[in-house]
Structure formats: C-alpha cells, structure tokens
Structure 1
Amino acid sequence: MTEDQAEALMNAAAAALALPVAPESRPGVIANLRLAARMAALVEDKTLDVHQEPAPVFRP
C-alpha cells in the first residue's frame, strides 16, 4: 500500500465513521495502515494444503 493509498483509505474511513483525525495524528494513522497492509499480505501469501484447516484455538 502506498502512502497515497493509505491516506485515501484513512480519509474515506474517517468520513464514513464521522471520525475526526487530528492533523498531528495523520502520519501515525497512515503508518499504521501501511503496516497493517504489510502484515495482511504475509497472511494472504500463505497457502494451506488441501488437508489443512485453520485451528479454532491458537495454542503456541
């Protein structure tokens, strides 16, 4: 996700939720959206074998 895409997402989500984002918070919100997108990409890139299913409970 580019910075412009993250900013557009932040603006759209804030408008949809009627949530004001303070100017000093905008860089942090954008950085967190970009980080969340990178983490999501890691999960999306993992393929499960036909016999594998997600566990209903996480046990480390």
Structure 2
Amino acid sequence: MTTPPFDAEAYARQAAPLLGLTVTPAQLPGVVANLQLAARMAAMVESWKLGVADEPAPVFVAR
C-alpha cells in the first residue's frame, strides 16, 4: 500500500478552520509553501536510518 502524495493546499484549507484560523486567498500561497517545506524536512528526518545502538538522548546538548 502506498501513501498518497501530500496535498498541502487541501490540508491548509481543511485544517485552518479546525484550528480556528482564517487563511485569506492572499495568504494561502505562503501557507502552502511552508507546509510543502515542512513536509520535505519531515521526509528527510523519516528517511534517516537508525542503528541498533541508537537511542534517544535524555538531554540535548549543542556542540
């Protein structure tokens, strides 16, 4: 079973009212662009292969 492609515009139009947001027609292209960018970033994170010894860090330490 394959996952259908992410439709950022449909998601924005359907999710905004559920979140109590109003997205005007002028704002929609920017919202869609940001959702598409977030989807690409999420795909990069999801594609990262974890090893057997990889565990979540208890505390993030920037280096």
TM-score range, shorter chain: 0.7 to 0.9
Q: Which one has a larger percent helix, Structure 1 or Structure 2?
A: 1
In the TM superposition, 1:7-22 aligns within 5 A as: 7-22=9-24
TM-score, length basis structure 2: 0.79
1:32 is matched with 34
Asked whether 1:6 is paired with 2:8, we answer yes
Runs of 4+ in 1 over 3 A off after TM superposition: none
TM-score, length basis structure 1: 0.82
Q: CA RMSD in A?
A: 1.5
Give the whole-Å Cα distance in 1 for the aligned partners of 2:60 and 2:30. 30
Percent of paired sites with the same residue: 55
Structure having greater relative contact order (Cα 8 Å, sep ≥ 6): 1
Partner of 2:38: helix, strand, or coil?
helix
Asked whether 1:52 is paired with 2:54, we answer yes
Any stretches of 5+ residues in structure 1 without a counterpart? none
